[in-house]
Structure 1
Amino acid sequence: MDYFSSRFKLGILGGGQLGKMMLYETRKFDIHTKVLEASNEAPCKISCNEFVLGNLMDFDAVYNFGKQVDVLTIEIENVNLDALEKLEDEGLKVYPPTKALRIIQNKAKQKLFYVDHGIPTAEFSRFAYASEIEDSIENGGLEFPFVWKAAQFGYDGQGVKVVRTMEDVKNLPAGECIAEDMIPFKNELAVIVVRSPSGEVVTYPVVEMEFHPEANQVEYVICPARIDDQVAKKAREVALTVSEKIQHIGILAVEMFQTKDDEILVNEVAPRPHNSGHYSIEASYTNQFEQHIRAILDLPLGKTDSKVAGIMVNLVGAEGHTGEVVYENIDKIMAMEGVTPHIYGKKQTRPFRKMGHVTIVNTDIDEARRVAQHVKETIRVVSK
């Protein structure tokens, strides 16, 4: 199929910043794009060829949208899978496939999948309702502390809580969830695996993630991870196993724990471009967004090596600020060598909302980390 400067249409479900950065690449290749999104203020609106307002969880909205494109992909997992399945049955190429999304969309199903396929992961319990957790604690089934996760619709640190007391339990949202053992880990790592329909598979280098202690959001992504080569090899092997078992198409970001004993445990996965791969825009030969487009169109996959060390700093809304956004001191970070800000186009900020990111590249990883800290301490995302 001729994708370039042609009548071909690529459909994208979701209009957020991941879609916007994907559209940088489709613009580069002159691939016609059509985006479905519920918000008229979506970052994607300014970058796609066609923009359609619609609820991603609505069967008719997703199905009717899919009938108007030649290949359909996602930039968010929370979409109507029944509509995607019907479109697949009618011959539309949907990537990642619905079968993979059904495993990933629900964290309880995802964890059970790991167990069924011998993929190392933290011990967990599954609950139909959060109210059942209290009974489990009282009967000795669960012990404090543990990690509570909503089975569905979690994002950017939402839907995850560390539970230390019975009072914490009483404040949990209702609904299906899992309770995971707290893992005493050395590092949180991630590996991006890319798979094409014809079976070509590549991996990106292992990255190290540092999280905000309160918001449970990634603050820094460091590539390459500052870990032993054998641990990195093991992490890539585990990620490849997950990819092979799930049989996704496109990008799969595999988040993992490196335990105190250097074992690798899978935390969770995302079947689309991911925060842990943003560094690749400046640091890699082929960034993750271009790679995703190459994969879903079954084009040759690009080189995943890094040209230089890269660090990503998330820009999130400052606490105490809600309203029209202002990026304080952005000119100061732009004066720093190797620093590139990416602003997502969200006009309204609120505490911990992802508003952009900054990449720092340097031949010296330690110097890049020092500059990243300086960037974090300099720029502020506030409201007018």
Structure 2
Amino acid sequence: MAYQDSILHPGFKVGVLGGGQLGKMMAQAANNWHLPLFLLDTDNSFPAGRVSPFFTAGNFKDYDDVYQFGKDKQVLTIEIEHVNTEALHQLEKEGVKVHPAPAKLDIIKDKGLQKQFYAEHNIPTSPFALYTNEEAVRKAVASGERSLPFVQKSRTAGYDGRGVSIIRSEADLEEKLLPGPCMIEDLVEMDKEIAVIVARNESGQTQAFPAVEMAFNPEANLVEFLFCPANISKEVEAKAEALAAEVINAYGICGLLAVELFLDKEGNLLVNEVAPRPHNSGHHTIDSCYTSQFEQHLRAILNLPLGSTKMKSPSVMVNLLGAPGHTGPAYYKHLEECLKIEGAHFHLYGKSTTKPFRKMGHATIVDESLERAVGKARWIQEKLEIVSGS
């Protein structure tokens, strides 16, 4: 029986490894179809626990927890890459549909293997080299094999700006090198960083959302703002969407793939890295596109027709981050004033504890004018403080 004929059957179960904000927003999208999502994470105080009654306490990095959770599911997906893929391989052998496929997930969650994949498939990316540890990097610099500046990325476990270090000087070489196996790549002279969210279902249909332009927090090395549409030419936009489709087809992934791209000073597009799941660079789609990235991911993993990715209006997304110097119960200072802003849509994740630069939510501002939306987003970022309070 085809998925679309059975997904609303009471016995049909879709499982998600991870119960953070992405799992929460995925469950909210599934609720529109009255489709229950079963989620696995540490405990139901996590964001998704508030919107889904089908929450299992467990560790998505543990073989037994993942296997026991997944064995009665028809389809299994993720909201984070750092899961136990050994269990996913076994579940796949036993007939569970796993999207993204664990073999592809093994590649993507290792940034070194990711880069090798692009090289092998002639997908444009920046030059790189792999090293066993930080001492090997120092030796490469001392011998002249590697010159400054460069970007160092831990091969595994990087997330939300962690596991990335920009090395510009000899002092950085001594103070900022990350320990363990790593990937070193050239520091690209960029014009912009953009991202394209692309979806693919089992039938081979692909659909890309309009490219977004990303602005990063220089201290935390994570996205502060997303601007859609990106300030790029129609030609570059078309090339970016085509490149995203090429990448997802090369992987053969079903579901979403967030493709982060560098646009260099010469106008070349280079694949930075990808995430095989809903992604921060697609949050604006909830309020500004005909289909949200979360609904699109569900459509893709269930082999349903993909939804329209057409943009309803220009939009700006601002990540709502924990204030520096504050750790403790979260208090949203000046939220009432921010709620008065026309076109501002707030999505609070429900994390009980705020920490410096922790993603506590996001706001998407829609407006007929991107310039006005940018102004509103910057005002909200400056006004809203997420501090520790009683």
Shorter-normalised TM range: over 0.9
TM-score (norm 2): 0.96
Quick check: 1:17 aligned with 2:33?
A: no
Alignment partner of 1:133 out of 106, 130, 137: 137
Quick check: 1:285 aligned with 2:310?
A: no
Contact preservation (8 Å) 1:5, 1:32: no
Quick check: 1:124 aligned with 2:128?
A: yes
Deviation at 1:328, TM superposition (A): 0.8
Cα deviation 1:193-219 (Å, max 9, x = unaligned): 100011111010011000011111100
Cα deviation 1:233-285 (Å, max 9, x = unaligned): 11111111111111111000000000001100000000000000001000000
Quick check: 1:373 aligned with 2:383?
A: no
- The aligned amino acid for 2:323 is A
Deviation at 1:49, TM superposition (A): 3.0
- The aligned amino acid for 2:28 is Y
- Tell me which residue corresponds to 2:346: 341
Contact preservation (8 Å) 2:27, 2:36: no
Contact preservation (8 Å) 1:5, 1:30: no
Instruction: Give the distance between the partners of 2:326 and 2:388, measured in 1 at CA.
Output: 5
Quick check: 1:364 aligned with 2:362?
A: no
- Tell me which residue corresponds to 1:43: 47
Instruction: Give the distance between the partners of 2:178 and 2:214, measured in 1 at CA.
Output: 27
Deviation at 1:333, TM superposition (A): 1.2
Deviation at 1:39, TM superposition (A): 4.1
Alignment partner of 1:315 out of 309, 320, 327: 320
Alignment partner of 1:244 out of 227, 232, 249: 249
Instruction: Give the distance between the partners of 1:240 and 1:128, measured in 2 at CA.
Output: 32
- Tell me which residue corresponds to 1:69: 73
Poorly superposed stretches of 4+, deviation over 3 Å:
none
- Tell me which residue corresponds to 1:144: 148
Q: What SS does structure 2 have at the residue aligned with 1:168? A: helix
Deviation at 1:5, TM superposition (A): 5.9
- The aligned amino acid for 2:54 is E
- Tell me which residue corresponds to 2:86: 82
- The aligned amino acid for 1:255 is E
Q: What SS does structure 1 have at the residue aligned with 2:30? A: helix
Q: What SS does structure 1 have at the residue aligned with 2:32? A: helix
Deviation at 1:26, TM superposition (A): 1.2
Deviation at 1:68, TM superposition (A): 2.3
TM-score (norm 1): 0.98
Instruction: Give the distance between the partners of 1:348 and 1:83, measured in 2 at CA.
Output: 31
Stretch of structure 1 that moved more, 244-253 or 26-35: 26-35
- The aligned amino acid for 1:243 is I
Stretch of structure 1 that moved more, 164-173 or 229-238: 164-173
How many residue pairs are counted as aligned between the two chains?
384
Cα deviation 1:25-62 (Å, max 9, x = unaligned): 11111112211112443111122232111111111111
Contact preservation (8 Å) 2:165, 2:178: no
- The aligned amino acid for 2:319 is N
Quick check: 1:223 aligned with 2:201?
A: no
Contact preservation (8 Å) 2:226, 2:317: yes
Q: What SS does structure 1 have at the residue aligned with 2:248? A: helix
Counterparts of 1:165-204 in structure 2, within 5 Å, are 165-171=169-175, 172-204=177-209
Contact preservation (8 Å) 1:147, 1:161: yes
- The aligned amino acid for 2:187 is M
Task: Extract unaligned runs of 5+ from structure 1.
Answer: none
Contact preservation (8 Å) 1:70, 1:93: yes
- The aligned amino acid for 2:195 is A
Instruction: Give the distance between the partners of 1:360 and 1:75, measured in 2 at CA.
Output: 24
Instruction: Give the distance between the partners of 1:169 and 1:42, measured in 2 at CA.
Output: 38
Aligned-residue CA RMSD in angstroms? Answer: 1.1
Task: Extract unaligned runs of 5+ from structure 2.
Answer: none
Instruction: Give the distance between the partners of 1:41 and 1:152, measured in 2 at CA.
Output: 27
Identity of aligned residues (%): 46
Deviation at 1:170, TM superposition (A): 3.3
Deviation at 1:4, TM superposition (A): 2.1
Instruction: Give the distance between the partners of 2:58 and 2:231, measured in 1 at CA.
Output: 43
Instruction: Give the distance between the partners of 1:344 and 1:377, measured in 2 at CA.
Output: 19
Instruction: Give the distance between the partners of 1:8 and 1:234, measured in 2 at CA.
Output: 39
Alignment partner of 2:168 out of 157, 164, 168: 164
Q: What SS does structure 2 have at the residue aligned with 1:119? A: coil
Instruction: Give the distance between the partners of 2:191 and 2:64, measured in 1 at CA.
Output: 46
Instruction: Give the distance between the partners of 1:228 and 1:289, measured in 2 at CA.
Output: 27
Alignment partner of 1:299 out of 301, 304, 316: 304
